[in-house]
Amino acid sequence: MATTAIHAGEIHDPSGAHIAPIFQTSTFTFEDMDAVQAWTSGETEGYVYTRPGNPSRTALARKIAALEGIGMGDDREQVKAEIFGSGMAAISAALMGLAKAGNHIVTQRVLYGSADGLISNVLTGYGITNSRIPGLEPEALERELETHPNTTVVYMETPANPTMRIIDIERTAEIARAHGAALVVDNTFATPVLQRPLEHGADVVVHSTTKYINGHGTVVGGAVVAHDPEWMADRIKPLVGGIGGVPSPFDCWLTNIGLKTLPLRMARHSESGMAVARFLDQHSAVVATHYPGLPDDPGHEVATRQMDGYGAMIAFDLGSYDAATRLLDRVQLAKLGVSLGNVDTLIQHPASLTHRMVSPEERAASGITDGLVRLSVGLEGVEDIIADLDQALAR
Ligand SMILES: *Cc1c(COP(=O)(O)O)cnc(C)c1O
């Protein structure tokens, strides 16, 4: 994993440049008309224009595909990725590549806020309906798929944002497949280092590369990964060109550099995540700590089976809106902000920030209580992160 993250997809420029150059160009020129003819007849491959393709983007796509494909044996070479200008551009492409007017999408109840908005408000306008099963529980999911035989997508996040709920990928993939639907997994929280959904039977993986994959908070981006190269070529590639939600070459280059240290970062993130979760779990001011690494967490057993570590996202409940918001005013090292997966610790209150658009009733039904705080444990000294939370909780 560490070697793949550093070497896969790298461009070796003829100049001998050690680090790949940034192909910051909108277009690519041909030597002459013979070269144009060779390209149009498919004799040669090449870049023509940066919306359909750019070498800086290809390099990043190859690295992500290689990481998601680890463990897939001979199928590994089949895994392909396309890079988008945001996680949401990637998610919309994946869903548009799988569902058409008249089709149905089944999802878990709690989803990343904008993914929820896309499925419940945008796609419905194009004739794509949806329904929710709280945690995609197997029996309820089977019933839902029987009720909606036009379902082409089962869409899930595990661990889920922001509740840290865990869903069994393999079990869900089996049920989806038996009913002719594809399983799409948002793997943003875990990253391919901790979880590779394609190995567990998922058809498509989506990422917000904005988070751990870039890891340094400098870029917004996304990726679609699948192990059906024909589907990628026939359904996703046309959306890259046709919708055009592509990132700049510079953003791809920055993300690619960040991705090289992902295995190293995730190991440290997981170690610190565990230490902070243990600290919160025993603190008298904390009503509940949701972290799959804790042995009594309801997702612990499934997470242990399908993940190679528990990561650094933690949700914890302080019992009331006031207690949660007071904590956010008192932390000093942890920064109050909505993103996650960066080298520095970020903390936020879903009920007033990321999930403010979700109605209080829906929030309650999804487990997003008023006292819930979401913490993205960074790579600072873990004793400093714990000391910061300790002083804020004491006050
Ligand atoms: C941030 C995030 C997204 C959306 O990604 P953007 O890059 O912000 O568009 C989707 N899913 C999850 C789980 C996220 O955390």
- Name the residue among 119, 103, 341 with its Cα closest to residue 208: 341
pLDDT category of residue 74 using cuts at 50, 70 and 90? confident
In which band, very low, low, confident or very high, does the pLDDT at 44 lie, cut at 50, 70 and 90? confident
Residues 116, 168, 186, 370: which is the catalytic one?
A: 186
Q: Average pLDDT for residues 289-293, to the nearest whole number?
A: 98
Q: How far apart are CA 367 and CA 353, in angstroms?
A: 15
Give the model's pLDDT for residue 361: 87
pLDDT of 203 over the 90 cut: yes
Q: Is 155 in the pocket of ligand 1 (CB under 6 A)?
A: no
pLDDT computed for residue 299 by the predictor: 97
pLDDT at 116: 92
Name the percent of the chain lying above pLDDT 90.
92
The answer, yes or no, to whether residue 356 has pLDDT greater than 90, is no
Q: Ligand 1 within 6 A of 222 CB? A: yes
Is the beta carbon of 245 within 6 A of some atom in ligand 1? no
| Residue of 80, 211, 363, 374 marked active site | 211
237 is catalytic: no
Query: Quick check: pTM over 0.85?
Result: yes
Residue 216 has pLDDT above 90, yes or no: yes
What is the DSSP pairing of strand 288-290 with strand 222-226? unpaired
In short, whether 187's Cβ falls inside 6 Å of ligand 1 is no
Question: What pLDDT does 358 receive?
Answer: 82
7 CA distance to ligand 1 middle (Å): 26
Res 364 pLDDT > 90: no
Residue 395 scores a pLDDT above 90:
no
pLDDT digits (tens, 9 = 90+) for 299-345: 999 999 999 999 999 999 999 999 999 999 999 999 999 999 999 99
Q: pLDDT tens digit string along 230-266?
A: 999 999 999 999 999 999 999 999 999 999 999 999 9
pLDDT one-digit tens code per residue, 132-177: 999 999 999 999 999 999 999 999 999 998 999 999 999 999 999 9
d(CA 379, CA 272): 8
Top mutation candidate among 211, 224, 353, 374 for ligand 1, by most atoms within 8 Å of CB: 211
CA nearest ligand 1 atom 7, residue = 87
Evaluate whether 59 touches 22 at the Cβ level (below 8 Å).
no
- The per-residue pLDDT for 362 is 83
Weakest mean pLDDT among 208-222, 264-278, 349-363: 349-363
Give yes or no for residue 365 having a pLDDT over 90: no
Q: What does the pLDDT look like over 175-190, one tens digit per residue?
A: 999 999 999 999 999 9
Query: Separation of 208 CA from ligand 1 center, angstroms?
Result: 5
Arithmetic mean of pLDDT over the chain: 96
Output the pLDDT for position 359.
Answer: 84
Q: Is residue 51 pLDDT above 90, yes or no? A: yes
Asked if the model's pLDDT at residue 101 lies above 90, the reply is yes
Q: Are 84 and 92 in contact (CB under 8 A)?
A: no
The residue-averaged pLDDT of 384-391 equals 98
**pLDDT > 70 fraction of the chain, expressed in percent and rounded:** 100
